[in-house]
Amino acid sequence: ALCYAELGAMIPRSGGSYTYLRMGLGNIMAFMYVFQAVFVQGPSSMVIVLLTFAKYTITLLPVCGYPVYLEKCITAAALGT
């Protein structure tokens, strides 16, 4: 956090990590960072959270040997909300 505080004081622009990467490493590296954040990091972390939520929700249901599609249905319902 201290590194970001120092960078924020040195580069007073909005944009966070994108701005710091663009100033330090150029446009290509900044674009690659934003691309992976939007298309890889964001969706994969959301899927992990939703699958974990589904597994914990299934344990609350009184079903003996739940079917696999039940986990996927709960995940899809949580994604839609």
Q: Judge whether 21 and 30 are in contact, CB under 8 Å.
A: yes
Biggest CA–CA distance in the chain, Å, is: 59
Q: 63 versus 2: which is more confidently predicted?
A: 2
Distance of CA 35 to the CA centre of its chain: 13
Q: What torsion, rounded to 10 degrees, do the Cα atoms 17, 19, 22, 23 define?
A: -110
Task: Give dist(CA 81, CA 76) in Å, integer.
Answer: 9
pLDDT band for 81, please (50, 70, 90 cuts).
Answer: confident
Question: How high is the pLDDT of residue 64?
Answer: 67
